[in-house]
Amino acid sequence: MDRATIEPAIRSVLTEIHSKLNAAARIAKAAEACALAGSVVEGVTVSMDIEQLIYEVGRLGSCQWRHMMLSLTPRRTRWPRANRNQNPQRPHANRLAG
């Protein structure tokens, strides 16, 4: 994917995340107001809508989103010096090599 395609998509996802988190904050504020007014049960009932919003935000932060973000970052051509000799297939050998 090229930058011209990815950047608008990322902006759209960030806007959606911001919108859902703002909605969750408004619900939390209403639930807190209910609890502070003495209606704890109603506060809990109101706050139950937050779970769906948090789930949706999590889905927006899925693997595809991370892939888009990584495609914008510069790639390294070599492993950093500290990791160059480590074998990801044999992590136990990495402890012995250092």
Measured distance CA(15)–CA(13) in Å, rounded: 5
The predicted-structure confidence for 60-76, as pLDDT tens digits, reads as follows 877 666 677 677 666 65
pTM of the model: 0.62
Residue 11: the pLDDT is: 87
Residue 4: the pLDDT is: 80
> Which of 6, 13, 27 is closest to 61 using CA atoms?
13
The predicted-structure confidence for 2-35, as pLDDT tens digits, reads as follows 778 778 888 888 899 899 999 999 999 999 999 9
Asked if residue 41 has pLDDT above 60, the reply is yes
